[in-house]
Chains A and B, each alone.
Chain A
Amino acid sequence: MSLELRGITKRFGALTANDSIDLKVESGEIHAILGENGAGKSTLMNIVYGLLSPDEGTISVDGKVIDIESPLDALAAGIGMVHQHFMLIPVFTVAENIVLGHEKVKGPGFLDLETARQEIKRVSAEFNFDVDPDALVEDLPVGIQQRVEIIRALIYDAKVLILDEPTAVLTPQETDELLRNMKKLRDQGTAIVFITHKLREVKIAADKITIIRRGAVVGTASPSASQEELASLMVGRPVSLDVKKAAPKLGQVMLKVENLNIHDHTGRTLVKNISFELRAGEVLAVAGVQGNGQSELAEAIVGLQEHIDGRITLDGEEIKVGRVRDALHAGIAFVPESREEDGLISSFSIEENLILDLHDLPPFAKGPVISQNAVAENASKRVVEFDIRAQSPKDAASSLSGGNKQKVVLARELSRPVKLVVASQPTRGLDVGSIEFVHERMIAERDSGRGVLLFSTELDEVIALADRIAVMYRGEFIAVVPADTSREELGLLMAGVKR
């Protein structure tokens, strides 16, 4: 089956998010779409999936123009989609989520989940997915949640599968597994649209590449092109994929963590007996597979974790539980792992999001009054500096593309005077150009004598930025190793294998 888009145009007010886009995806190919943050990739795919309606243009399947007004129409036409932000209902089970919108009944009004269960098991077995149909979605790790979305598409017999940044939240192993499964589906004749910012994956999996810039198709590329070539096609300028940095100039010990244990509210231990020191002018990267206690550790440092034993001090001052404001004002910049949940208020304007933790300090507050001018002035500076692509800083943050949301959080946290930067997955969802910028910025922070504590599941990022690497596994630092440790060794450590 083939999917063909002709002249798709979508405007949001004055902004043209998709500008007369033509795209053809054939059965049995993986078609990668590359483009900067805000280029219009998600918008285009949401149109195909019936979540947005195009202002102009047609969508045809197998040469026949079809009318897609809702995801149900899309599914009926054989188009399935896995979103950048998952669209599952957390309190429903896997099976319930999958039948949603297609509920079958048996007898007078009883939901028939049995068929769905069988189907889930079948697909799950075929692709090694290991998904329990009766598990609650909220209890599942993101990697598995994503499989649920894929299963949903497959059960409805999707012949075109759209994957919007599917690997952003996956571990390297999960990513490899996904890429393998994508190829398997392709070989069975599925047409796959694959959106990603990771050029390595494009090179591994893609058969064709289309590049979008500022809403328009600017060209195609072959997967044999080098990563540098792809990057510059995407961004429109040469991008350096390595980070240049000089040897660190270490200062005093800045952050000191002693015998830290963190529990959840049920008393389960999430972080076990961690002690470390971070010096001024140093980047300590905490590597590890997601879910090994990194987010809890990061949160504890700004006082966001409630049940902790041990001591955390910044320049000798203890950081107290619950005193987040004090921690931030003592000079910590904090980039939380989940921008949607913890980093942004999506109904607030971009402007307001840029002062979330500074709104009651000068220059933004004059006494009890927020100075609208100062807020607007700050926003216009940050938008330029961090290249936040938005129509107006007064727009709601929810209208931003995924990567631009992340840039708002980074812009806020990295542009006030701090001593220490604590950043979790700071470049998740960013395009290569923006990653380059953020990395340079982090190194600049380090070189101006700040401490940087970086949490990342991306080995590339860890290796590029770190002066020292701590590997976290099941709540512990199982090793703290120098920056030049080999990838293989780091990989083993992340899997919990000690020499």
Chain B
Amino acid sequence: MKKFLSKITLPALAFTMALFVSGILVAISDSKVLALKSSPLSMLAEAFSTAGSAYWALFRGSIFDPELAKANFIEGFYPLSETIVAASPLILTGLSVALAFKAGLFNIGAQGQFIAGAIGASFVGFHFELPIVIHSIAAIAAALVCAGLYGGFVGFLKARTGAHEVIVTIMLNYVAGYFLLWILSTSPFLRPGRQDPLAPEVRMSSRLPHLFGSELRANLGFFIALLAAVGIWWLLNRSTWGFKFRAVGANAAASKTAGISVGRSTTTVMFIAGALAGLGGAVQILGSEPALTAGVGGTFGFDAITVALLGRGTPLGTVFAALLFGALRAGGLTMQASTETPLDLILVIQALVVLFIAAPALIKAIFRLKNVDEGEALASKGWNG
């Protein structure tokens, strides 16, 4: 328990600090606050109320909305459901990056792998007619295979030729993006009678069931993501494969000396990482965005890097970090709609959280902490490979 507390102290303080600093930004960028320059006290009061209402809007947009709850209590949780919807794919892409981190690889390619998975799931989802459940499983399997191979290819290249995974994955992100544009203009992916890049919606039989009734969009994808997190935790900490992955990530020379094949580990890890990101794509398509579009990837693959970093490369941490990001995404919209605060502030908060996390010395100095667990310096390790 003590260990757990010391582990979450830093992220929690970083988040608090980020909210605090962003609060100041909200306040001083507000015209009403600025208008009160002449009287410092009322300016301070106005600043508090501005920041307060922005954060209240954020809460209403991401967790619970009392207005909506008046009609139907469950619906009050509509925002929470949106948070979950936004977080589910992010958990999976985040796990993809986190797993690779642990194995000493920097997977910048979750974006491309996500797209590969989305394409696979979408095609199986709208093209075939299959019974319920089986259809979902088939679509997910297609996503796993497409994205797994897409990621595994990177590992294979690295193992065989030494090509650096960062460069290869960045390039493959472009490849995936443009391939998606192209494939959306080909006949199986064009909707009958339309010319714009919008694939047919996946069939109802392939969709993931909603968890809390049809009004809330939260769906089985969230459970799939949580299950994946448990699975990755088990893989890393309990299985012989995970032992090899971690060993190679921590010291490749010693692993080699102990008879562990570095190349095989690299290839396998990148396959699994790709499959995870692809599963994210499948969850997005089968869960909340049934039609494949050019924008399907959003920033799921890139935010994944931040999420994994914030979660300190552990599966549990990644889940929490993704939920936080999902909440900020969902709540940001409400905040923009109901206050003067721009959506960009969400990006500022995200950036600040990461900044404070990435600079533990800063947080320690601010709060005069000793003996909290700083975790491993993840970001600096992945690059050396």
Q: Cβ of A341 and Cβ of B256 under 8 Å apart?
A: no
A interface residues (Cβ-Cβ under 8 A, vs B) = 302, 304, 324-329, 334, 336, 341-348, 352, 356-357, 359-360, 365, 368-370, 372
CB <8 Å contact, B253 and A342: yes
Residue of A nearest to B247 (CB): A345
* 5 pairs, A vs B, C-beta closer than 8 Å: A302-B257, A344-B251, A345-B247, A359-B240, A368-B240
Residues of chain B lying within 8 A (CB to CB) of residue A348: 246-247, 250
Which residue of A324, A369, A372 is within 8 Å of B256 (Cβ)? A324
Do B247 and A360 touch (CB < 8 A)? no
- Given the interface contacts A328-B259, A369-B238, does A345 sit within 8 Å of B254 by beta carbon? yes
Which among A324, A365, A368, A370 is the interface contact of B259 at CB below 8 angstroms? A324
A345 touching B240 in the complex, CB below 8 Å, given contacts A325-B261, A356-B247:
no
B239, A368: Cβ atoms closer than 8 Å: yes
Interface residues of B (CB under 8 A from A): 238-241, 243-244, 246-247, 250-251, 253-261, 376
Give complex CA distance A348, B247 in Å. 8
Given contacts A347-B250, A348-B247, A356-B247, contact A334 B257 (CB under 8 A): yes
CB < 8 Å: which of A326, A334, A345, A368 contacts B255?
A345
B247 near A369 with CB under 8 A, answer no
The listed residue with most A CB atoms (<10 A of its CB), out of B240, B247, B255, B257, is B257
Are the C-beta atoms of B241 and A368 separated by less than 8 Å?
yes
CA distance A341 to B258 in the complex (A): 12
> How far is A329 from B243 in the complex, measured between Cα atoms in Å?
18
Minimum distance in angstroms from B130 CB to a CB of chain A: 31
Closest-by-CB residue of B relative to A356 is B258
The answer to whether A370 and B254 have CB atoms under 8 Å apart is no
Most chain A beta-carbon contacts within 10 A, residue among B239, B251, B254, B260? B254
Given contacts A342-B253, A365-B240, contact A329 B247 (CB under 8 A): no
Query: Contact check: which of A326, A343, A365, A369 meets B254 at CB < 8 Å?
Result: A343
Per the bound structure, the CA–CA distance linking A258 and B48 in Å amounts to: 82
Which among A327, A329, A344, A345 has the highest number of chain B CB atoms within 10 Å?
A345
A370 and B238 within 8 A (CB): yes
Q: Please tell me which one of the listed residues B241, B259, B261 contacts residue A329 in the complex, with CB atoms under 8 A apart.
A: B259
Q: Which of B246, B250, B260 contacts A325 (CB 8 A)?
A: B260
Apart from the given pairs A334-B257, A345-B250, A369-B240, 7 other A-B contacts in the complex at a CB distance below 8 Å: A304-B256, A324-B257, A342-B253, A344-B251, A344-B254, A348-B247, A357-B259
Contacts of B239 in A (CB 8 A): 368-370
CB distance B238 to A352 under 8 Å? Answer: no
Given contacts A360-B240, A368-B240, A369-B238, contact A342 B254 (CB under 8 A): yes
| Distance of B16 from chain A, by nearest CB (Å) | 28
Contact pick for A345, options B238, B251, B259, B261, CB 8 Å: B251
**Inter-chain contacts of A326 with B (CB < 8 A):** 259
Whether A352 pairs with B243 at a CB distance below 8 angstroms is: yes
Shortest Cβ gap from A411 to chain B (Å): 14
